[in-house]
Structure 1
Amino acid sequence: MDPLGSLVAWAAPLGFAGLFAAAASERLIPVMPSYGLLVAVGIGAGDCLWSVPLALSAVTSGGVAGSLATYGLAAALGEVRSLALLRRGAHLAGLPAARLDRWVQGYHRHQGAIAFAAQLVPTIRLLAPLIAGLLGHGFRTFLLATTAGVVVWSAFFIGLGYLAAQLSVEINASVLALQLLLILLAAEGAALLLSWRLRRRRPQQPVMTSPEDRIP
């Protein structure tokens, strides 16, 4: 059973339009991991269903279009409603509230860098347009940074799928996506553990006291 492979078979006759629709739908209705979809698209390119440039341009266009739709939704709902939607989405995705709050605070200070980096982080990449629309800062910066992030993310996983198709005649896109999920979870866990250890080792600043405080 290969549901991702079936999706690729459905999209193949539609060409650019099919890939665009699949990528945009993944943004708006995230029922499948984006990297799984992209790996399947890469496998399709390896099987000569479409060219790599066409695949990359289609999924990038679809991903950016979906991000813009999410951005517009947050901007139209207003701060109170969009913030509630953002927190509900983070909860359903298993994202800790504290981590979400750090991304929101960081977005205020480094909008372009955060918008780009967010597209390289699972789950966060879907919530980032909501954050941008909620804060309403620099649409042009958001668009350029998000597009760049989507290109990097898409190219990486399409390339993996393409390479896998070249190395193996019979390959199950869904199984490969599951294997990548396990690798991503392990990498994220290792990064969090490393960050926690670095914070533990960081020396604490001594508390300064005035001369009067030292007088018994």
Structure 2
Amino acid sequence: MDPLGNLVDWIAVYGIFGLFAIGLAERFLPALPSYGVLVAIGIAAEDDVWALHTAVIATTVGSFLGALALYLLVRAVGKKRSAAFLYSVGGWVGLSQARIDWTLSTLRDRERALTILSQLIPTVRLISPVAAGLLGTNTLRFVSGITVGIVLWNGLFIAAGYVAVLAIPGINSSALALKILILLIGAELLTALVWRLQRRYSLRVNPGASER
């Protein structure tokens, strides 16, 4: 059983358009594990289904356009309705209102760096374009930051799949994706812990920071 491998077989039928479409779709389908699909795409690259750089570029363009569409939609709709939408979407992907508020707070504090980093955190990466639009992040800053973040995310997992199949020929895409998911959850928990400790230290050193 390899559902991700079967999905990639379907993507391969449509070539570059299929890669673009899956990159776009992951922005609007929270149930679609983008990291797993990207790993499977990297595995297929080793089989000469498509070139490695083609896979990275096509999926990046699709994901970027999806993120940009969400950002522009929020800017057009307005903050009140967008906030309600953000909390709703957060509920779909398993993010509590408190977690969303934390994301907004961190993005507000360090916009450019965290626009990039937000694309490297599962689930958070899905709501970050909406959050950026809600916060009124400068369009150029958003575009540059999210482009770098998406390239890193897509490139990392496509390369991981490519290297994995070189090391273990015939590896199961879905099994590899599950192992990567466990690593991602561990990394996300560690990141959240480090952030909280840093925040607590900052508040202790500068008590007035909590009021800003």
Give me the TM-score of the superposition, normalised by structure 2: 0.88
CA distance in 2, matches of 1:111, 1:199: 16
Q: Which runs of 5+ in 2 are unaligned?
A: 208-212
Contact 1:5 1:40 in 2 (8 A): yes
* Cα drift, residue 98 of structure 1: 2.4
Taking only aligned residues, the RMSD between alpha carbons, in angstroms, comes to: 2.3
Identity of aligned residues (%): 41
Q: Which residue of structure 2 aligns with residue 81 of structure 1?
A: 81
Flag the 1:101–1:201 CA change in 2: closer, same or farther, 3 A.
Answer: closer
Flag the 1:107–1:183 CA change in 2: closer, same or farther, 3 A.
Answer: closer
Flag the 1:196–1:131 CA change in 2: closer, same or farther, 3 A.
Answer: closer
Residue type at the aligned position of 1:61 = V
Flag the 1:204–1:66 CA change in 2: closer, same or farther, 3 A.
Answer: closer
Contact 1:86 1:127 in 2 (8 A): yes
Cα offsets for 1:84-126 (capped at 9, x unmatched): 1111122232223223212212333422112111111111111
2:55 counterpart SS class:
helix
Cα offsets for 1:140-194 (capped at 9, x unmatched): 1101110000001111111100011112221211111111111111222334445
Alignment size in residue pairs:
207
1:9-88 matches, within 5 Å, as 9-88=9-88
Q: Which residue of structure 1 aligns with residue 136 of structure 2?
A: 136
CA distance in 1, matches of 2:136, 2:192: 30
CA distance in 1, matches of 2:192, 2:124: 15
Contact 1:47 1:165 in 2 (8 A): no
* Cα drift, residue 199 of structure 1: 6.8
Q: Which residue of structure 2 aligns with residue 188 of structure 1?
A: 188
Flag the 1:191–1:108 CA change in 2: closer, same or farther, 3 A.
Answer: closer
Q: Which residue of structure 2 aligns with residue 169 of structure 1?
A: 169
Q: Which residue of structure 1 aligns with residue 210 of structure 2?
A: none
Report which stretch shifted further, 86-95 or 119-128.
86-95
* Cα drift, residue 134 of structure 1: 1.9
Flag the 1:204–1:61 CA change in 2: closer, same or farther, 3 A.
Answer: closer
Q: Which runs of 5+ in 1 are unaligned?
A: 208-216
In the alignment, structure 1 residue 145 sits paired with structure 2 residue 145: yes
CA distance in 1, matches of 2:29, 2:19: 15
Larger radius of gyration: 1
